[in-house]
Structure 1
């Protein structure tokens, strides 16, 4: 990963309270895992931004190194890497994800 890509990813993460790196867009997710991640965020009613990794190969590869996580989607909350779709689902079902959003002061959608 280039320093430019690293810098771009850091800027994206730092400038959005809730950021989902995903395949596709919230309206048209391009994989089941991204679709599930969007459904969880929508159900929590939090405002979030997304980055379509399919639009930028550098970001698609770079985010995996950036987070040291091999799969997409990837969720960041207030600059902190939370995890992928499975972790989001577990945290959502246990109430942990909603609590995290509240504790971090994430705005409602």
Structure 2
């Protein structure tokens, strides 16, 4: 991973309270795991940003190095790596993800 890619990823992670590195977009997820991750975030009602790794191969590979995690999607909350869709699902079902969002004082999504 180039320094520039690392810096771009780090800036994205630090500048957004909640960011999901995913395949596709929230409206058009390109894999089931990304779709599930978006569904969880939408159910929680939190404001989040997303990065479509399919649009940038350097970010697609770089995020795996950055987090030392081999799969996508990847969720970050307030700069902290949380995990992929399986971990998100486990935490969501246990109520832990909602608690984490509250503890980190993550903003709620604005109603459209």
TM-score scaled to structure 2, two decimals?
0.97
Asked if residue 87 in structure 1 is aligned to residue 87 in structure 2, the reply is yes
CA distance in 2, matches of 1:11, 1:46: 20
Structure 2 equivalent of residue 32 of structure 1: 32
Residues matched between the structures, number: 109
What residue is the counterpart of 1:10 in the other structure?
10
Q: Which residue of 1 aligns with 2:42?
A: 42
Q: CA deviation at 1:13?
A: 0.2
- Partner of 1:65 in structure 2? 65
| 5+ long unaligned stretches in structure 2 | none
Q: Deviations over 1:16-45 (max 9, x none)?
A: 000000000000000000000000000000
Cα offsets for 1:45-68 (capped at 9, x unmatched): 000000000000000000000000
Q: CA RMSD in A?
A: 0.2
- Give the Cα–Cα distance (whole angstroms) in 2 for the partners of residues 57 and 108 of structure 1: 31
Instruction: Give 3-state SS (helix, strand or coil) of 2:20's partner.
Output: strand
Secondary structure in structure 2 of the residue aligned to 1:50 = strand
In structure 1, runs of 5+ residues without a counterpart are none
TM-score with structure 1 length normalisation? 1.00
